[in-house]
Amino acid sequence: MAKQRRVRKDIQVGNLEKKKDFAPGTIRNTDGSDSRSDKELGNLRDEYGEQAMEGMLTGPPKED
């Protein structure tokens, strides 16, 4: 089984949503608002912590 790589912290939210095949707006702030697509993942981790990020990155896949 292949080892899963960690997502780089300098990736932008919009690019991560495309890479993980999430619908646009899936990654949200902890207050429920949509996070900006040009914000870097490392900045979200700094603001909300690693525990809050777990829920943000396991969004539903986008429907066709």
User: Tens digit of pLDDT per residue, the chain (64 long)?
Assistant: 788 888 889 999 999 999 989 999 888 888 888 889 999 999 988 988 877 777 666 555 555 5
Look up residue 28 and give its DSSP letter.
Answer: B
Q: Where are the domains of the chain?
A: 13-56
Q: What global pTM score does this model have?
A: 0.72
Q: Measure Cα distances from 28 to 2, 3, 17, 46, 53 in Å.
A: 29, 27, 11, 15, 10
Q: For residue 50, count other CB atoms closer than 10 A to its CB.
A: 7
SS3 at position 3:
coil
- Token readout for 9 is 């912290």
Q: Rounded to an integer, what distance in angstroms lies between the CA atom of residue 35 and that of residue 13?
A: 8
